[in-house]
């Protein structure tokens, strides 16, 4: 078999973080991110702990607000008015009974560092990426670092509002000019579609989902999935794919860049709110 070519996501994350630190230093105040959480979900708690660590490393203030379902919207309203808060992150999953669209609409647009507010998602359709969803942006950054996207056939497997759909719009943007296909659980002949693609992005959430025979030799494969199987983390891409394609690793791949971009958005929000 050929030699394995991993796509280096660490250095992309590192350069974003270096940029963030520099820009934090240029501000006359310390930017602040607040994460609002409404459940006791253990994986959310562990994610928030890693956010906290990263914030400390980057010189950004960080606070977690635990709130009840009944107080969720009023908490967001208070954060909208709080001048010391530059970014607001809403942890998923939301508590049962809360409507995602209502909650995310209450995230102040100019502090919406995750790009979940429908207004920010709408801007994407106009090619405006003030606060694009971090994971979709991370995938774009990886692709731009390894290839010319223009004219390429890109297949995205997964159509979530956080990953697949915004990513499709971002890759279609004038100037990026990919030819985009979006697949999902009702797609027929998925393997044929992915095999005909120069680039395959998998955001499904199932370990070993993308098999070697679904990928063209020499293709670029971006693994967005995060799965916990037999005590360790893995993506959606089966390991045999690495023998014929360039693949992003999990862990240490897209997820790292996603987190770095979240903080880049916090700094961006702080710079804009200062102005
Ligand atoms: P969702 O569960 O919202 O979406 C999964 C998508 O996969 C759906 O569109 C679904 O189709 C599709 N799908 C499921 N089964 C199949 C199948 N057999 N064939 C084709 N398509 C299928 O997940 P998310 O988009 O939120 O996340 C996807 C993965 O990415 C998860 O593992 C998540 O943990 C990870 N993730 C990683 C991030 C990062 O920073 N690296 C950030 C966010 C998520 P349908 O719509 O028809 O149901």
Interval between CA 187 and ligand 1 midpoint (Å): 14
Buried b / exposed e over 204-243, threshold 16 CB at 10 Å, is: beebbbbeeebbbeebbbbbbbbbeeeeeebbbbbeebbe
The predicted-structure confidence for 64-95, as pLDDT tens digits, reads as follows 999 999 999 999 999 999 999 999 999 999 99
* Confidence tier at 274 by pLDDT (50, 70, 90): confident
* Same fold: 30-110 with 134-255: yes
Specify the pLDDT at position 86: 98
Query: What's the pLDDT score for residue 3?
Result: 62
Global confidence as pTM: 0.97
CA–centroid distance, residue 205 to ligand 1 (Å): 5
CATH-assigned architecture of domain 30-110: 3-Layer(aba) Sandwich (3.40)
ipTM: 0.99
Structure confidence by residue, pLDDT tens digits, 138-174: 999 999 999 999 999 999 999 999 999 999 999 999 9
Q: What is the pLDDT of residue 43?
A: 87
Pocket test for ligand 1, best of 115, 133, 185 (most atoms within 8 A of CB): 185
d(CA 133, CA 153): 22
Query: Of the CATH numbers 3.40.50.720, 3.30.200.20, 3.30.1310.10, 3.40.640.10, which one belongs to the domain with range 134-255?
Result: 3.40.50.720
Q: What is residue 5's predicted lDDT score, i.e. its pLDDT?
A: 75
Ligand 1 binding pocket includes 92 (Cβ within 6 Å): no
User: Per residue in 86-109, is it b (16+ CB within 10 Å) or e — as a string?
Assistant: bbbbbbbebbeebeeeebbbbbbe
Other Cβ atoms within 10 Å of 136 Cβ, number = 30
Q: What is the pLDDT of residues 33-55, one digit of tens each?
A: 999 999 999 889 999 999 999 99
Q: Sheet containing 32-37: which strands, arranged edge to edge? A: 61-66, 32-37, 87-90
User: How far, in Å, from the CA of 74 to the mean position of ligand 1?
Assistant: 30
Domain range list for the chain: 30-110, 134-255
């Amino acid at each position: 078999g050929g030699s394995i070519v991993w796509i280096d996501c660490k250095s992309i994350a590192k350069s974003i973080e270096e940029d963030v630190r520099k820009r934090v230093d240029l501000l006359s105040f310390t930017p602040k991110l607040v994460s609002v959480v409404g459940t006791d979900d253990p994986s959310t708690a562990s994610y928030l702990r890693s956010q906290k660590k990263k914030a400390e490393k980057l010189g950004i203030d960080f606070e977690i607000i635990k709130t009840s379902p009944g107080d969720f919207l009023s908490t967001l309203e208070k954060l909208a008015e709080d001048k010391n808060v530059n970014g607001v992150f809403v942890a998923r999953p939301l508590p049962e009974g809360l409507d995602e669209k209502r909650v995310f609409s209450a995230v102040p647009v100019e502090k919406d560092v995750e790009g979940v507010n429908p207004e920010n998602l709408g801007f994407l359709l106009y090619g405006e990426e003030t606060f694009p969803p971090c994971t979709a942006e991370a995938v774009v950054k990886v692709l731009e670092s390894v290839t010319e996207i223009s004219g390429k056939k890109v297949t995205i497997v997964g159509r979530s509002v956080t990953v697949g759909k915004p990513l499709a719009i971002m890759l279609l943007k004038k100037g990026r000019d990919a030819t985009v296909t979006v697949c999902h659980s009702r797609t027929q002949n998925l393997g044929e579609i992915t095999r005909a693609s120069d680039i395959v992005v998998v955001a499904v959430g199932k370990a070993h989902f993308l098999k070697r025979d679904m990928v063209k030799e020499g293709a670029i494969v971006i693994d967005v999935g995060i799965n916990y199987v037999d005590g360790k983390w893995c993506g959606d891409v089966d390991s045999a794919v690495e023998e014929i394609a360039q693949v992003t690793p999990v862990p240490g791949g897209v997820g790292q860049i996603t987190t770095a971009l979240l903080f880049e958005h916090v700094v961006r929000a702080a710079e804009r709110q200062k102005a």
